[in-house]
């Protein structure tokens, strides 16, 4: 069931979103060759807890029967798409790393992802990151009262494919609020379903996942980390938004 949030609930989600944004700001300060994703995880969790939040991801059950998620952030490097588990391998010059952060504040979630450059990256990697980010903004141009989920999906897919990339189809965006994942699902590609009409007070996590090559993905043996099947780069950009009477409001910037 799709829930319409009250002003009080939106205010709490705005606070959760602020915590997520501050954690991303800390990540941006620290990203450099030589740092490990485990160090980034510790830094993000410190920010989340200092600001009164709880990490959304830590301890989430594995849908495929593996271990519960062991960290506060997802850190996906190069060909890893989403759900990368932080580790002690130092990042190196030219890597790209997608960091997904979620925080709970007084029972409500905020969720946002960014793909960061590690030192100087290739022009191809830089362009992939830029197109992925811009595809999010193309999508939220359609996130207005009376439009449909499918309008968001179409805008994202068209922009990505016009630029020569592909959108991941096995994983999608989602509603968000008291739960990290609520209805409706928000594909980054057009499906046969038009999806519900958008209404003021709907809160959505819109998150294009864009591959340099083909859209197909695999899941590693840890039953969390999703990787591109062809081994090419992937980028991720996400924000939590609320549908308003006018333009959507981004809660995680």
Pick the closest to residue 74 from 43, 30, 41, 39 (CA basis): 41
Annotated ligand binding at 207? The verdict is yes
Annotated ligand binding at 79? The verdict is no
Annotated ligand binding at 238? The verdict is yes
Taking the mean position of all CA atoms in its chain, how far away is CA 202?
18
Residue 151 CB neighbours (<10 A): 20
The pLDDT value recorded for residue 193 is 82
| Beta bridge partners of residue 238, listed in sequence order | 113
- Round to whole Å and give the CA distance between 31 and 85: 16
User: By three-state DSSP, how is residue 111 classified?
Assistant: strand
DSSP string of 181-241, one letter each residue: SEEEEE-SS--S---PBP-TT-EEEE--EEESS-S-EEE-TTSS-EEETT---EEE-BEEE
Residue ranges in the chain modelled with pLDDT below 70 = none
Annotated ligand binding at 174? The verdict is yes
CA distances for 246 relative to 6, 70, 112, 211, angstroms: 17, 39, 22, 32
- pTM as predicted: 0.97
The pLDDT value recorded for residue 194 is 78
Cα(first)–Cα(last) distance of the chain, in Å?
Answer: 27
The pLDDT value recorded for residue 192 is 87
Give the right CATH number for 7-250 from 3.40.605.10, 1.20.1250.20, 3.40.710.10, 3.90.230.10. Answer: 3.90.230.10
Question: In the structure encoding, which two tokens stand for residue 129, read together?
Answer: 């990151």
**Which run of H or of E encompasses 37?**
helix 37-50
Question: Which tens digit of pLDDT belongs to each residue from 132-143?
Answer: 999 999 999 999
CA distances for 82 relative to 50, 73, 77, 143, angstroms: 26, 10, 9, 24
Annotated ligand binding at 24? The verdict is no
User: By three-state DSSP, how is residue 100 classified?
Assistant: strand
Domain-by-domain residue ranges, the chain?
Answer: 7-250
Q: Which residues contact 235 (CB under 8 A, 6 or more apart)?
A: 96, 98, 115, 128, 129, 131, 132, 209, 210
């Amino acid at each position: 069931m799709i829930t319409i949030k009250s002003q009080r609930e939106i205010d709490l989600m705005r606070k959760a979103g602020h915590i997520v944004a501050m954690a991303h700001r800390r990540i941006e300060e620290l990203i450099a060759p030589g740092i490990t994703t485990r160090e980034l995880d510790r830094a993000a969790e410190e920010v989340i807890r200092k600001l009164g939040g709880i990490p959304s991801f830590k301890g989430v059950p594995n849908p495929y029967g593996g271990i519960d998620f062991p960290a506060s952030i997802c850190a996906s490097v190069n060909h890893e798409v989403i759900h990368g588990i932080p580790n002690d391998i130092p990042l190196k010059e030219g890597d790209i790393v997608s960091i997904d952060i979620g925080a709970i504040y007084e029972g409500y979630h905020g969720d946002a992802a960014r793909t960061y450059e590690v030192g100087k990256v290739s022009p191809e990697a830089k362009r992939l990151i830029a197109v992925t980010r811009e595809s999010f903004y193309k999508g939220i141009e359609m996130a207005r009262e009376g439009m449909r989920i499918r309008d968001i999906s179409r805008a994202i897919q068209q922009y990505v494919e016009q630029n020569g990339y592909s959108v991941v189809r096995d994983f999608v965006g989602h509603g968000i609020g008291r739960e990290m994942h609520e209805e409706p699902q928000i594909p980054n590609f057009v499906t046969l379903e038009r999806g519900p009409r958008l209404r003021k007070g709907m809160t959505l996590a819109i998150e294009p996942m864009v591959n340099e090559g083909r859209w197909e993905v695999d899941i590693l043996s840890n039953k969390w980390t999703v990787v591109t099947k062809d081994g090419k780069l992937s980028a991720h950009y996400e924000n939590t938004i609320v549908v308003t009477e006018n333009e959507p409001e981004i809660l995680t910037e």
